[in-house]
């Protein structure tokens, strides 16, 4: 059984990730808290790049729940048809927009329970919104983070909730705000699923993965640097 990380090793783990990417950001593009919420809902089982391509023209004119409801489900579905499960997602986005208007005065709530009550919003989506829109030290666990935490043995778990709860315990407070950004970028571009790039990994000596790759792939995976998210200052929810 792999040896658990010591506190010193966890500190070093995140110190290296911070040195590599001092100010990590979500790769989803958004203009305010509402468009962030919509983008995260649309990103389920889809790539951030694909979501950004569909939402770039959409968010230029539709950036509030009221405008989204006015757009309507059919037109929204047409706008996001390149994204997987677009019909179901369009239905959920219109429904959550109506709830935001009816129950929250058109604002995105800074509350996990209220967020998770919205159609199409689960724990991961709520964590992303709380972290990115409101600066809460939440940790959203996706497939990349689940893989990294189990492969390295940083925070192993049988499901995403177990991994999240373990991360909350082991990650030092001064790293929590950026922890899930660092981990997702590491999983997306270095600790990839099929053949991790162990020879170039800055965490290789800390990682407990017994089957580390010894050589780089013959053709290195194409990695496009994340675009700088388009954001504006967010208003506090009331």
Catalytically annotated residues:
124, 142
Chain centroid to CA 159: 17
Query: Contact 211/155 with Cβ under 8 angstroms?
Result: no
Q: How many whole angstroms separate alpha carbon 181 and alpha carbon 172?
A: 15
Other beta carbons within 10 angstroms of residue 78's beta carbon come to: 12
Q: How many whole angstroms separate alpha carbon 124 and alpha carbon 143?
A: 11
CA-to-CA separations, 120 to 70, 117, 160, in angstroms, rounded: 19, 9, 17
> For 221, how many CA atoms within 13 A lie in the half-sphere containing its CB?
14
């Amino acid at each position: 059984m792999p040896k658990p990380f010591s506190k010193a090793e966890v500190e070093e783990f995140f110190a290296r990730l911070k040195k590599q990417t001092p100010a990590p950001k979500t790769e989803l593009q958004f203009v305010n808290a509402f468009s962030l919420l919509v983008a995260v809902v649309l990103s389920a089982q889809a790539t951030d790049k694909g979501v950004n391509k569909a939402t770039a023209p959409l968010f230029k004119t539709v950036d509030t729940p009221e405008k989204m409801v006015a757009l309507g489900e059919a037109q929204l579905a047409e706008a996001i048809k390149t994204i997987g499960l677009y019909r179901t997602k369009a239905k959920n986005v219109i429904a959550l927009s109506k709830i935001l208007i009816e129950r929250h005065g058109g604002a995105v709530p800074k509350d996990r329970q209220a967020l998770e009550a919205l159609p199409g919003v689960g724990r991961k989506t709520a964590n992303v919104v709380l972290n990115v829109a409101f600066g809460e030290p939440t940790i959203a666990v996706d497939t990349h983070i689940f893989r990294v935490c189990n492969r390295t043995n940083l925070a192993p778990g049988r499901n995403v909730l177990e991994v999240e709860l373990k991360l909350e315990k082991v990650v030092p407070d001064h790293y929590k705000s950026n922890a899930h950004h660092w981990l997702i970028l590491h999983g997306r571009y270095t600790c990839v699923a099929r053949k991790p790039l162990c020879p170039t990994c800055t965490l290789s000596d800390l990682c407990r993965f017994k089957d580390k790759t010894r050589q780089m792939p013959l053709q290195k995976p194409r990695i496009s640097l994340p675009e700088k998210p388009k954001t504006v200052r967010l208003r506090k929810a009331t």
